[in-house]
Amino acid sequence: MNIQEYGLLKSSKKKIALIPVTEDNFNHVISQEGQPIQKFLKTQDFKGQEGKILAVPNSDGDVEAVFVGVKSYDDMYALADMPSKLPDGNYYIGLPDEFSLSAEQQTKLSLGWALGTYKFTKYKSDTTANKINLVLPSKADIGQISREASAFFMVRDLINRPANDLTPAALEAEILKLCAQFNIHAKVTKGAELESEYTLIHTVGKAADEGARLVDFCWGDESHPKITLVGKGLTYDTGGLDKKPSGAMNDMRSDMGGAANVMGLAKMIMESNLPVRLRVLIPIAENAIDGHSMRPHDIVYSKKLGKHVKIGHTDAEGRIVLSEALAEAASEKPDIIINMATLTGASKRAVGVMPVLFSSDKHLARNLMDLGEELQDPMWQMPLVEAEADLASGLTSIFDADIITDPDNGNPDHIMAALFLKKAIGLGRGDDGQTFVHVDFSGFNSKAKPGRPEGGNVAAIRTLYQHLQDTYTP
C-alpha cells in the first residue's frame, strides 16, 4: 500500500515536531519544553486555543516545531487542516511521553490528516505532488487508515466528476474496475433485457443518449451471512419533464452519490476480508428530457414488483429505480439490506447535511446513531413504521394503479420515499423479518470543513462498516 498518496510516511530522517495541545493541558505540555520555546509562545499569546497554529523558528530561521490548538485528542479531524496550512516538510506528533496517545487516538488523528490531503485534480493543469507529510505514530493502524482513506478518495473522485465525463457507461466501467481488483465477475443488465426485467429502471433512463443499466456483483463465501448493498446511480438528474429550476441542477452530478458510497463501503468490506457474502446492486441511469421521457402520471407495469406503478412526479426518479433493485435484493432474503441514496431534498431540510436514517429495526437504528456519534460519522433516525398509516395509505389510495411513487399530499417527502421503498421490498405487507436500512443524504458538500472538502460527500460508510465488522467478525 502506498500511504504517501494520503500524505503519510512510515519514517523520515528529517522531521518537524507537530505538537497538538488543548487549552486544559497547554501549560503542562510547554513546561516540558526549553526556555526559548516557552518564551516565544508567551510573546505570541499562544495558549492552545482551538484552531490556532504557531510555528516556532530555530536560530537559523527554519521551523523547529509547530504547536496547534485542538479540542481533543479524540477528535478525528483535529489535524485535518494541517496539510493545507503548514509549511512544506515531514512532521511527527511530538508530544512528551507522559502524554502518549492510545492506538485509537493515533489512528484517528492520522486518518484525519490523510483525509485533509484530498484534492480533486482530474481537470487541473497543476497537479503538484504533496510536499507535506505526517510520519505515522508507532501504534497507528496502517491497515485501517489506508482502507478508509482509499475508500473516501474513491467516493469523492467519483462524485466530483461532471456528468459529461461520468456518464452511465463510465460509471458502469468504474464499478467493473473495482470488481477487477477483487477478481469478481459482474452481471450488467441493459437494453432489451433491462426493459423486460427491470422496466422502471429502463423507464427513468430511456430519454438519455446512454441507456439505463443495472450492475450486480457478489463477493465472498456463499456460506457466510448475506449482506446486500444497493446504491442509487443517477449520473445526472434534470428532473425530467417536471424539470428542476436551473440553480437546483448545479450539483446534480452528485445524484450518483449513493452508488459511489456503496462502492466505497463494498471496497472496505472486501479489503478487510469480512466473513460475509456480499452482494451489490447499482441501478444506473440519467434522467434526461426528450420525446421518450416518462411523463407525470404515466403508469408502468413492473414485473419485478408485480405491480402497476404510477409515476407521481418525474423528479422523484430515485425511488423508481431503487424499488426494482431493492425487490431483487429482497428476493434472496439476505440478513440485511443497506440502501444509500441522494434521494430527497426533504432530508436536508429536516436535519441539514447530516444523513437521515430509516430502518425496519428500531434498535439497530438507535445503535447506528450511537455508533455514528462515536465515530464522528453521524446519522439521524427518522420514523419508518406502519403506524404511520395515514402516510403509507397515500401511496396506494389511487383509482388507476396499484401504487404511486409520490402522492402530492403535503406529507414529508423523505418519509414518503422511504415508505415507498419499504413497500417495494414487501415490508409494507407486514414484518417478514427482513432487516432494511435506508440512508438518505446530500451528495454534495457545499461548505468545506477540515477533512471534509467542498464537493463529493462521503456519508455514513465508516459507521455502516464498523457495524458490519462488529456484527460479523468472530
Catalytically annotated residues? 244, 319
Cα 222 from chain centroid (whole Å): 27
* Residues 194/202, Cβ–Cβ less than 8 Å: yes
What is the 3-state secondary structure of 353-420?
Answer: CCCEEEECCHHHHHHHHHHHHHHCCCCEECCCCCCCHHHHHHHCCCCCCCEECCCCCCCCHHHHHHHH
Cα 305 from chain centroid (whole Å): 28
Separation of first and last alpha carbons in the chain: 26
Q: Do the bridges between strand 213-219 and strand 380-381 make them parallel or antiparallel, or are there none, so unpaired? A: unpaired
Count of residues making up the chain: 474
* Residues 311/294, Cβ–Cβ less than 8 Å: yes
* Residues 404/310, Cβ–Cβ less than 8 Å: yes
DSSP assignment, residue 6? Answer: G
Q: How far apart are CA 245 and CA 263, in angstroms?
A: 30
Q: How far apart are CA 164 and CA 430, in angstroms?
A: 43
Q: What angle (nearest 5°) sits at the alpha carbon of residue 302, between those of residues 261 and 193? A: 75
Q: How far apart are CA 341 and CA 265, in angstroms?
A: 13
Beta bridge partners of 109: none
Beta bridge partners of 403: 309
Is the C-alpha dihedral spanning 310, 316, 321, 323 positive or negative?
negative
* Residues 410/390, Cβ–Cβ less than 8 Å: no
Q: How far apart are CA 246 and CA 234, in angstroms?
A: 18
Number of other residues whose CB lies within 10 A of the CB of residue 196: 11
On the CB side of 148, how many CA atoms lie within 13 Å of its CA?
A: 27
Is the C-alpha dihedral spanning 149, 155, 161, 167 positive or negative?
positive
Q: Which helix (H) or strand (E) holds 372?
A: helix 362-375
Q: How far apart are CA 437 and CA 62, in angstroms?
A: 53
What is the radius of gyration, based on Cα positions, of the chain? 24
Three cell numbers at 195? Answer: 426493459
